Amino acid sequence: MNLKFTSPFFIGIGGSGMSPLAHILLDFGYQVFGSDKSSDSSVLEKLKERKAKIFSTIENLNLSTIDAIIYSTAIDRSTNPIYLKLKEKNLPEFHRSEILHNIFKTKKSIAVAGSHGKTSTTAMIAQILLENGLDPTVMIGGEVSFLGGRGGRWGEGEWGVYESDESDGTFLNSSPEVKIVTNIDNDHLDYYKTFENLKLNFARFIENNENSKSVVCLSDSGVSETMKLIPDKAGILGYSDKNESDSSQVNFSIEKDILHFQKNNTKYQVVLPFKGEHYLKNSLAAILASEIAGVSIEDSINTLKKYLGVKRRLEFIGNTHGIQVFDDYGHHPTEILSVIQSVKQMKGKDSRCVILFQPHRFTRTKELYKEFSLALSESDFVFLLPIYSAGEEEIEGVTSALIFENSLDLRKIYPLTGDLTLDIEILIKFLKKDDILVTLGAGNVRKWGELFLQKKQKEKSSSI
């Protein structure tokens, strides 16, 4: 691995795209430094356990041994005080994508792209490659139990798998052997400006050279529209539920939580521990990509029967008084709808699907507030939090009230204040036995679910 430093400093090291890279460099023997606004997250604790040195402010920051700066698009380099302090030393600077691509160009790699499902699909492939002896290098934008609660590892095997982030266009700067596109939706338009431009960039990603192959979900309308922009479809393997007779397509169907497909004149069935058609579709992409890497379809299917999942992907966090609480990272209308559909498959006849939603970013809320309202209407009840800024400046007139005001049934949605103590009291009064509560969003909404469980459990203890 030819990186021109030995002691890099990650700005925002706790981010989902940064901490896995830090773990890979720690595996490789680098001394890792970093900063993060949060000082107590489990992500940071795992890095500290591995001797990474992490700071929350510029005080006590010793610059003498740091020899490079690593940043992400989320960092505002014009105002971030730690970046500005490090810049005074004239250190070389690298965007996180440069480090990612430098690591994985030393391997045969599988890059997983798409508006939704990247993390789950990457995790499925990583678990398949690991359990079948390929010792892969892995970068997952989430914490997984089979990597000890981390999202990144260096492996000695010839293959690697990583999430390829389309949000800032940097996914076009890589050259993987296998490229997956799970779906293409109208997200990140603050960068791409138009959906057409987003599709053009995905078309560039999908199109192959003589050394690469692509696996794409043709059931998705965004992907099928993007395919029309690609003149040379060599090396592209599609998977679809449209049941067309095309040698470059694998047909599948989903019945009663089982995915059926046929390849090489053999019929297969896939069953996962998690409910939801989106998981099953992602599993087929993982199986097809893993076959290219040398794992048989049968072995991949056997691994996925024991798929362990990813933290914050419909993650069960507790049960009290007969109320189940889950947490999910979903922050786009399509993801919200998938989560609600999965919960509906889980709940009994007396259960309610209750969503506690925290919108993520002012720009996304401005673009998609009507779609958010429509997706959330599929649940039995919604509690709505204020927007989580993710470092963005506020936009005048853009609040979670836009989602509330466009709701199809105002009797089924209730705006919360964002004050944890007050909000939890409302949840305690509302939720009842057999309800399923899902805290939903890419911000800190999980805190509401965890505190609800704590408070409700104390209520139970005090009544004994």
Q: pLDDT tens digits, residue range 217-241?
A: 999 999 999 999 999 999 999 999 9
Map out the domains of the chain as residue ranges. 8-97, 107-304, 315-462
Check if the beta carbon of residue 332 is closer than 8 Å to that of residue 363.
no
For residues 133-153, one letter each, b for 16 or more C-beta atoms within 10 angstroms of the residue's C-beta and e for the rest, the string is: ebebbbbbbbbbebbeebbbb
Q: pLDDT tens digits, residue range 342-380?
A: 888 887 788 999 999 999 999 999 999 999 999 999 999
Within 10 A of 92 (CB to CB), how many other CB atoms are there?
A: 11
The pLDDT of residue 40: 53
Confidence of residue 133 (pLDDT cuts 50, 70, 90): very high
* pLDDT top residue among 108 and 330: 108
Amino acid identity for residue 104 in this structure: F
Residue in 137, 54, 149, 146 with CA at minimum distance from that of residue 102: 137
The pLDDT of residue 274: 82
Of the chain, the percentage scoring pLDDT greater than 90 comes to 67
pLDDT, mean of residues 80-92: 90
Q: In CATH, which superfamily holds the domain spanning 315-462?
A: Mur ligase, C-terminal domain (3.90.190.20)
Interatomic CA distance for residues 14 and 104, integer angstroms: 21
Q: pLDDT tens digits, residue range 423-441?
A: 999 999 999 999 999 999 9
Q: In CATH, which superfamily holds the domain spanning 8-97?
A: NAD(P)-binding Rossmann-like Domain (3.40.50.720)
Confidence of residue 39 (pLDDT cuts 50, 70, 90): low
Is the per-residue pLDDT at 135 higher than 60?
yes
Of the chain, the percentage scoring pLDDT greater than 70 comes to 98
Check if the beta carbon of residue 437 is closer than 8 Å to that of residue 326.
yes
- Output helix, strand, coil percentages for the chain, rounded to the nearest 5: 35, 20, 40
- What does DSSP assign to residue 143? E
Q: Is the pTM of this model over 0.85?
A: no
Q: pLDDT tens digits, residue range 288-330?
A: 999 999 999 999 999 999 998 887 777 888 999 999 999 998 8
pLDDT, mean of residues 59-88: 87
Residue 461 is encoded by which pair of tokens? 């203890």
Interatomic CA distance for residues 158 and 213, integer angstroms: 17
> Cβ contacts of residue 331 below 8 Å, gap of 6+?
359, 360, 361, 364, 440, 441, 442
Check if the beta carbon of residue 428 is closer than 8 Å to that of residue 401.
no
The pLDDT of residue 49: 92
> Cβ contacts of residue 189 below 8 Å, gap of 6+?
195, 198, 367
The pLDDT of residue 145: 87
The pLDDT of residue 271: 95
pLDDT, mean of residues 71-78: 87
Interatomic CA distance for residues 226 and 459, integer angstroms: 54
The pLDDT of residue 192: 85
The pLDDT of residue 356: 97
Q: What is the secondary structure of 67-120 as a DSSP string?
A: -EEEE-TTS-TTT-HHHHHHHTTT--EEEHHHHHHHHHTTSEEEEEE-SS-HHH
CATH of 107-304, one of 3.40.50.620, 3.40.1190.10, 3.40.50.300, 3.40.50.2000: 3.40.1190.10
Q: What is the mean pLDDT of the chain?
A: 91
Interatomic CA distance for residues 47 and 59, integer angstroms: 20
